[in-house]
Amino acid sequence: MQIFFMIAFVLVIGIAIFTIQNSDAPMVVMRFLIWKYETSLVYTLLGAIGLGSLLTILCWIPRAIKTSLHMRRLKRQIDQLTITQSPAPAPIQEESKS
């Protein structure tokens, strides 16, 4: 998990450097059906990166929940099997006093 955060941190630093270096990029026009929007190239790329990250996280969350529930169920099964497979304790034998 720690390696994931390190990779994400390096990626964010790279995006920040990219944004600073390209802050004077020309304006671009985006068209979709009847909409027309003019914005900076940097904002367009940052929006695409942000939207891609958001969609990735939204697709990952259900799978993570499903995996977590499956792991919990398997651990419960392991606990039940170890209880049923463990040998019964030997009966205590009393010594006869003579």
Q: Where are the domains of the chain?
A: 2-70
**pLDDT above 80 (res 65):** yes
**pLDDT above 80 (res 93):** no
- Going by C-alpha positions, the residue among 93, 73, 94, 77 that lies closest to residue 85 is 77
What pLDDT does residue 71 have?
Answer: 93
- Going by C-alpha positions, the residue among 56, 50, 47 that lies closest to residue 28 is 47
Give the tens place of pLDDT for each residue, 67-79. 999 999 999 998 8
To the question of pTM greater than 0.75 for the whole model, the response is: no
